[in-house]
Amino acid sequence: MSTIHPVILCGGSGTRLWPLSRKSYPKQFVPLFGDHSLLQDCADRMKGPADAPYAKPLILTNEAFRFIVTEQLAEVGVDPGPILIEPEGKNTAPAVLAAALYLAKSDPDGLMLVAPSDHVVPDKSAFHEAVRNGAQAIARDRQLVTFGITPDRAETGYGYLKLGRSPDTTGAAVPLDHFVEKPDRARAEAMLADGSYLWNSGIFLFSVRDIIAAFEQHAAGLVAPVNTAVEGARADLGFLRLDPDAWANVEDISIDYAVMEHATNLSVVPYAAGWSDVGSWSAVQELSNPTEDGVATTGEVTAIDCRNVLVRSESPAQEVVAMGLENMIAVAMPDAVLVASMDRAQDVKQAVAALKAKGAKQAEALPVDHRPWGWFESLVVGDRFQVKRIHVHPGAALSLQSHHHRSEHWIVVEGTAKVTVDGKVQLVSENQSVYIPLGAVHRMENPGKVPMVLIEVQTGSYLGEDDIIRYEDVYARS
């Protein structure tokens, strides 16, 4: 078997699971089920079985998520291959083509297993068997393979795949007749009854050489700018930044529209071992082991006399009590709460749009702000002061910086901080503090082997995050 190169698409910023998933920290990074995030589960699944030649995963993500990706993969022991940084989101077709052109330099006959980072596929062995069946179709007939999910309901939120013939019991690939857009209810019920339609999973397998040829035939306008972006890519701290000027000229289009709906060498591997794109809170409910009454809870929740509900508390300090609810969603975050009818689960993005229109920061940003060195959260905000909790990873360092409008007081509560203020370096241990005057050039580092946590009290006329002048930064931020 040719080497399989997993390609993980990790640039999405979905709004369908608001308020837990937001633009600043979308659902692929969230531990929705258990301790691991969807990205971590995907990366673990893409390791492949021991008897198959799987390469390290190639990741496509964006500037905002690059350090989150590497941090989360390191937590589960996944050593990634190249991480390509997209200057801006251009949908799946340019991302897949960029990965293919990059891989063509070293393994043009290798196979690309392309998958979104935010799907749930619980049965790894069944998934790997499906990949083997797809690889056989490629070896036999040079097919472009997609994976179709056997439907268990008349779903209107997915696109469908019409099979060219009925599948057999071996799970072998079958010809694809055509793609079907997301249907209305009546059409979805008819396709479910027909039995020859599968859900379109958005997971693909094809050879590097074949998918490039398909782009050249069906989406030739993408090839030149994407190739220029790959050829002009610049290495940066272990990442590979695609050339932004070339990328700006790339069309925003999905791989389905650009290539798959036009190609004639298409096959589908039927898959019935469990899959979800986790595209709504109702999907989360189904995957959260609900009781016989359909009650699914997470966190500090007490549900009394409820039926068919999802209730989540995302803070250990926040107790949520649900009484007499039916067909409801309730998700409580420290800064926002969603309460919705279960039949409106697909409409949560409307709430996000309404919040954006009124200028609410909760529309896109979480109260916890993730940074390359760790994270911080605002505990108290006043007119001329702010109190933050700051968590710094072992060995990490904030930039050397100063502020025009605020002074800061740091109190270490866990670990030890190495603090630089106007050239003077000192170690600050637990229960000790240090003052950063207005305009002082300063830096905070964690020289230890355990996380360092401090409380920061800011005072001044302006406390925005853009009041930072950076002089040095190990993460190459401007």
- Of 61, 56, 76, the closest CA to residue 28 belongs to 61
Q: Are residues 29 and 178 in the same domain?
A: yes
Q: Does any domain span residue 477?
A: no
Q: Range of 294's domain?
A: 289-357
Q: Does any domain span residue 431?
A: yes
Whole-model pTM: value is 0.90
In this prediction, residue 157 carries a pLDDT of: 85
- Of 127, 97, 310, 292, the closest CA to residue 213 belongs to 97
Q: Are residues 237 and 379 in the same domain?
A: no
Integer Cα distance of 123 and 121 in angstroms: 6
Integer Cα distance of 331 and 336 in angstroms: 8
Walking along the chain (478 residues) 10 residues at a time, the average pLDDT comes out as: 93 87 93 94 91 93 92 93 94 97 96 96 95 94 94 90 87 91 92 93 96 97 97 92 96 95 94 93 95 96 97 94 97 96 93 95 91 93 95 95 96 97 96 96 96 97 92 81
Q: Does any domain span residue 335?
A: yes
Torsion of CA 126, 132, 133, 134, to 10 degrees: 110
Q: Does any domain span residue 478?
A: no
Name the domain boundary from 236, 271, 306: 271
Q: Does any domain span residue 277?
A: no
Between vectors from CA 275 to CA 273 and to CA 276, what angle results, nearest 5°? 160
User: How many distinct structural domains can be found in the chain?
Assistant: 3
Name the domain boundary from 237, 271, 305: 271
In this prediction, residue 478 carries a pLDDT of: 62
